[in-house]
Amino acid sequence: MLLVIDVGNTNTSLGVYRDGVLLAHWRLTTTPSRTVDEYGVHARNLFELAHMDFKDIEAIAVASVVPPLNYTVRKNG
């Protein structure tokens, strides 16, 4: 599965694809002060609610217009 993350100024969108098919998607408020751990907890909870296992992610693609979050998002992936 592929996890795509789009970090925008207002929202951060996440989507999970398998073979080009969107399986799940979520939108979080972009908060530059949020820690790596906080983003990790959010991601884990979203996957759990969707009955998906984060361990099934084979690749991650990130697009970001919020440079302060680039490290946080990379560290989380």
Number of domains in the chain: 1
pLDDT of res. 36: 87
Q: What is the mean pLDDT of residues 34-47?
A: 90
Whether pLDDT at 77 is above 70: no
Whether pLDDT at 76 is above 80: no
Domain range for 35: 2-76
- Give how far Cα 54 sits from Cα of 8, 43, 44, 62, 66, Å: 23, 9, 7, 16, 24
pLDDT of res. 73: 80
Which amino acid is residue 61, in one-letter code? A
In this structure, what CATH number is given to the domain that contains residue 37? 3.30.420.40
pLDDT of res. 7: 94
| Burial (Cβ within 10 Å: 0-12, 13-18, ≥19) of residue 39 | buried
pLDDT in tens, 14-36: 999 999 999 999 999 999 888 88
